[in-house]
Amino acid sequence: MTATQTQPESTTSPKKDRVVLAYSGGLDTSVAIGWIGERTGAEVIAVAVDVGQGGEDLEVVRQRALDCGAVEAYVADARDEFAEEYCMPALRANALYMDAYPLVSALSRPVIVKHLVRAARQFGATTVAHGCTGKGNDQVRFEVGITSLAPDVRCIAPVRDLALTRDVAIEYANKHDLPIATTKHNPFSIDQNVWGRAIETGFLEDIWNAPTKDVFNYTDDPTYPPAPDEVVISFAQGVPVAIDGQKVTPLQAIQELNRRAGAQGIGRIDIVEDRLVGIKSREVYEAPGAMVLIAAHKELENVTLEREQARFKRGIGQRWTELVYDGQWFSPLKKSLDAFIDDTQRYVSGDIRLVLHGGRATVTGRRSEQSLYDFNLATYDTGDAYDQSQSKGFIEIFGMTSKLAAARDVKFGNGVELGTGDLAAE
């Protein structure tokens, strides 16, 4: 879906240098508009991208940017674009960093980057700014992404490069009477979109502390769940196309499963994560829809992918995940891996039934016209089509290399020690 642009294209050449700022509407980026102008002499274009993070209406955010001093404000409804072009490739790759994190923040950065670069070209900006610190992954994701799409564009980070700390931001906002609340201080750093929610800092930085109830928003407490919720997810070539028989877009599928799985407390993740910049960080995530979709997609692949293809894809999916986590969405290797993953999804179509309850999504049924599961080969009952007499010769050939190597080890005194303990009599 093409993003909605609410500010007309500038038709005059800018008299000053222009900086495109990734704008959230919050304190730091609102202050950054004037802060950048004062320290660089450039005009600021604010760019806000809706990837399903909720909160304020985009028109309110756009007007706030103008009220804070932006000369232009570009806002985009990129929810469908994000779901279709970023979340779905992650789903088809079964992307879980460190086998746990479904790339909540990492996936949103390249779509935001694309809109930042588009705005820079449109408004004649020579620099793009973001609100990241110098300790996190996002500074890498933004800047590598930006320079991959626009090698001639310069990147700055007000917090990292222009000394815009939070206390300075509050003082600046009060002094200039900016239309942004400065008194409430959330102890957590939160990033969210339709694929999930990421929470860090505050008391969570002590890795012995358990998350408290106020940490969570997308999920209810799984200790006291409602009645079990049975859901059937239908896929076509690795992408969800229906839920309980009702057609859905990728965005609608994620939103519906966020609601239903979130009510069951599914998708809470608490890990110590290896950041790209070399430090370990405690991260808490909520991703109910993402985790249910990945669980269902994995099971459908178990039914439809050939064994060797499936084994190889697990390694490819892991490497794909690491590249995206590391901010390499636009890299040549990631594009090559995309081609392989796309090919594996040719027959990943069918239905998966799950029961959502008490923090768990349990697969209870699978069906697919492209299934490689053959009942007549799998059954142990009458009608078994598997010729068991062929197994003896298969085992002899399959184990031949190990048998020859073992005989050599015995010959040269390197056989496996079996121990000297007596075997207990039954």
Binding-site annotation: residue ranges for L-aspartate: 133, 137-138
Write down the catalytic residue from 50, 64, 79, 138. 138
How far apart are alpha carbons 156 and 20 in whole angstroms? 10
Instruction: Give the residue numbers of the binding site.
Output: 22-30, 101, 131, 133, 137-138, 141, 189, 273, 285
How far apart are alpha carbons 21 and 43 in whole angstroms? 10
Q: Is 189 a catalytic residue?
A: yes
- Please answer whether residues 366 and 352 qualify as being in contact, where contact means their C-beta atoms are separated by less than 8 angstroms: yes
How far apart are alpha carbons 99 and 170 in whole angstroms? 39
Say if residue 313 is exposed, middle or buried (CB neighbours under 10 Å; 0-12, 13-18, 19+): buried
Instruction: Give the residue numbers of the binding site for ATP.
Output: 22-30, 131
- Please answer whether residues 299 and 366 qualify as being in contact, where contact means their C-beta atoms are separated by less than 8 angstroms: yes
Sign of the CA dihedral with 363 first, then 365, 371, and 376 last: positive
Q: Where are the beta strands (DSSP E) in 117-238?
A: 127-129, 154-156, 189-193, 196-200, 229-236
Give the closest residue to 217 by CA, choosing from 186, 248, 244: 186
Give the closest residue to 239 by CA, choosing from 226, 228, 253, 220: 253
Write down the catalytic residue from 64, 92, 109, 197. 109
The residue behind tokens 């056989």 is 415
Which parts of 329-374 fold into alpha helices (H)? Answer: 332-344
232 backbone φψ class: left, alpha, beta (φ>0; ψ -120 to 50): beta
Instruction: Give the residue numbers of the binding site for L-citrulline.
Output: 101, 137, 141, 189, 273, 285
How far apart are alpha carbons 134 and 165 in whole angstroms? 12
Q: Is 281 a catalytic residue?
A: no
Write down the catalytic residue from 121, 189, 214, 408. 189
Report strand pairing: 360-367 vs 246-247. Answer: unpaired
Write down the catalytic residue from 18, 28, 50, 92. 28
Number of H helices, E strands in the chain: 15, 14
The catalytic residues are 28, 109, 138, 189
